[in-house]
Structure 1
Amino acid sequence: MANASKHIWVQIDFEETKAFRSALFDAIPMRQCSRSEYDGEPLTEKELEQLQDAGHGDGVSVLLMTDAAQKDLVTDCVAKGNEAQFADPAWAHELKSWIRFSGKEAVRSGDGLYGPVMGNPDVPRWLGLLAMKGTFSAKNQNKKDHRHIQSSSAIAVIYSETDDIPHWIEAGRCYQRLALQAAALGLRAAFINQPVEVVKLRPEFAQAIGIGNRRPDLIVRIGHGPEMPRSLRRSVEDVLG
């Protein structure tokens, strides 16, 4: 007997209400993933409380790690993730195909990861690919991620009580609020997700940071840093048309 397809339905109810303008709404144009080194200055207790509140949701919590030992632990787990990902040819191919090395290339595609957002120069694609041949390695990425993690004021881990679709959605909503709260406070944020992108490392990372069998969904580093160039994005009409 063939297995029947399994459909999972999520019901979303809307209701009429009045518009409410908040600090998080005003932070929408400022929010970005800032892939740069931060200044390492500690966050205030009030800032940490605001970030904690913003990252909390229904069955989803946020763990904020700020001391040196915790940063070292995250650095080690990220390094394991880099080793696994750089050893995967499919992952490497996808990453290279997503990078837009020059402004002209970014404008032409309207999407992708624009090189200067990572601190790289604006160069033709052929030159960017040539440069990557000499620098594209887990070893070099580990050095960069070490600097980025150690320069951060806090590492936030958003984690769920249950591994299912409603909690995945809720985790995404919690991240958006966390990132907007950081932007509203004048802070920068960027993903450092390798320990949760590599499936076999996810439970190991969960145990290491003390959340047991809960599911770590997203890892975000937060701190004071410079505004970076922004990647281009296609319009909604281009994507859905």
Structure 2
Amino acid sequence: MPTTVLDAPTLETLIAASVAAPSIHNTQPWRFRLDAPTLTLEIRAVADRGLRHTDPSGRALHISVGCALFNLRVAIAHHGWEPVTRLLPRPEEPDLLATVRLGGSARSSTSVPLLYEAVWRRHSSRFPFSDRQVPTSVLAELAEAAQAEGAVLDVPEPMEVDRLLRLTGQAEQRNTADTDRAVESRRWVHAPNPNSLGMPPEAIGPQDFRERIPMRDFGAHRRPAGLAARPFEKRPSVVVLSTLHDRRADWLRAGEALEHVLLVATGHGVRASLLHQALEWPDLREQLADGRRAHPQMVVRLGYGPEGPASPRRSARQALTD
């Protein structure tokens, strides 16, 4: 049974679990505040960590916060409370993206311990995967995880995978040629710093010398001493996460669904990297949808391979405000 008091160590653990979530370019565009009388945690967007050129609508920022929100829900349930979530609770405060109140005793769930354990192990791997295919049973479980959060996870046929990768490649070429986006991307790649934002160069990973899987090179970092080129898997496993609508609340739900999928994948030993490039260009995002009613929110590459280095995170105390 949870206590009615949230002590400081438990609060820090909850926030640490939340900030372990993925975010575009590891911008970690969130901050947290505890309303102690109501035992409610607020998650607010941090505008100056948004990507003005890459993500002008803030869609990717909302997805990032949605991922952090799901981790927070899992951690709260793990510690015995029922997470009571509200998305966009105050229209007059657009930066307040969600609140989570620590309710009564959490409902019993066999999945919470597994998800909570995966929170601390999950991180993206931008390295080559083996040609071992992800089992159908695991893909079905990932689809169920997305559905539980109000999203749809599609598993495309090989010819459709080829089309998705071509669109991703087109987007990567555009991003590299766009000066504003290249500069914006480049400033998030640096050695670890006291704020623990952005990505260390070693976490970027190599490029695919076959150029079949267009890995983001974060602003044309190709130099003689820059990114190495290596062969990637010949038959990549790719899935597409979509939502029926395309509003701010849907973007947050897409983030929750994405993180649920990634945690379940982590529990099965499946690595993941996010192929977001084509979603950053409206015309290419429309082509990703290919006439379907659903709105694509993320393209995810799945497989088995090296874990790769993790990007650093800010501490719980840095992410908390009074």
Structure 2-normalised TM-score? 0.58
In 1: Cα distance, 2:174 partner to 2:164 partner = 16
Among residues 159, 165, 170, which one is paired with 2:248 in the alignment?
165
Return the structure number with greater helix share. Answer: 1
Which residue identity is paired with 2:104? E
Return the structure number with greater strand share. Answer: 2
Query: Residue 17 and residue 168 in structure 1: after superposition, are their counterparts in 2 closer, same or farther (change >3 A)?
Result: same
**SS of the residue 1:98 aligns to:** coil
**SS of the residue 1:55 aligns to:** helix
Query: Residue 176 and residue 111 in structure 1: after superposition, are their counterparts in 2 closer, same or farther (change >3 A)?
Result: same
Counterpart in 2 of 1:115? 201
| Unaligned residue ranges in structure 1 (runs of 5+) | 1-5, 121-130
Query: Residue 10 and residue 117 in structure 1: after superposition, are their counterparts in 2 closer, same or farther (change >3 A)?
Result: closer
Among residues 122, 126, 136, which one is paired with 1:31 in the alignment?
122
Counterpart in 2 of 1:124? none
Counterpart in 2 of 1:237? 317
In 2: Cα distance, 1:173 partner to 1:190 partner = 16
Alignment of 1:123-162 (within 5 A): 132=221, 134=223, 148=232, 150-152=234-236, 154-162=237-245
Alignment size in residue pairs: 212
**SS of the residue 1:106 aligns to:** coil
Counterpart in 2 of 1:3? none
In 2: Cα distance, 1:193 partner to 1:12 partner = 27
- Following TM superposition, by how much is the alpha carbon of 1:84 offset from its aligned partner in structure 2, in angstroms? 1.8
**SS of the residue 2:223 aligns to:** helix
Query: Residue 151 and residue 117 in structure 1: after superposition, are their counterparts in 2 closer, same or farther (change >3 A)?
Result: farther
Counterpart in 2 of 1:127? none
Among residues 168, 172, 183, which one is paired with 1:82 in the alignment?
172
Confirm or deny that 1:91 pairs with 2:174.
Answer: no
Counterpart in 1 of 2:216? none
Counterpart in 2 of 1:183? 266
- Following TM superposition, by how much is the alpha carbon of 1:199 offset from its aligned partner in structure 2, in angstroms? 2.0
- Following TM superposition, by how much is the alpha carbon of 1:197 offset from its aligned partner in structure 2, in angstroms? 1.4
Which residue identity is paired with 2:281? V
In 2: Cα distance, 1:178 partner to 1:58 partner = 10
**SS of the residue 1:217 aligns to:** strand
Among residues 212, 216, 219, which one is paired with 2:296 in the alignment?
216
In 2: Cα distance, 1:225 partner to 1:158 partner = 22
**Is this contact kept in 2: 1:203–1:213, CA < 8 A?**
no
Which residue identity is paired with 1:47? V
In 1: Cα distance, 2:263 partner to 2:271 partner = 10
In 2: Cα distance, 1:163 partner to 1:83 partner = 26
Structure 1-normalised TM-score? 0.76
| Larger relative contact order (Cα-Cα within 8 Å, sequence gap ≥ 6) | 1
- Following TM superposition, by how much is the alpha carbon of 1:16 offset from its aligned partner in structure 2, in angstroms? 1.3
**Is this contact kept in 1: 2:149–2:256, CA < 8 A?**
no
Residue deviations 1:136-190 (CA, integer Å, cap 9, x gap):
xxxx99x87xx557453x2121101011111111100000000001100001001
**SS of the residue 1:74 aligns to:** helix
In 2: Cα distance, 1:218 partner to 1:149 partner = 20
**Is this contact kept in 2: 1:159–1:218, CA < 8 A?**
yes
- Following TM superposition, by how much is the alpha carbon of 1:68 offset from its aligned partner in structure 2, in angstroms? 2.8
In 2: Cα distance, 1:238 partner to 1:61 partner = 34
**SS of the residue 1:46 aligns to:** helix
In 2: Cα distance, 1:76 partner to 1:60 partner = 24
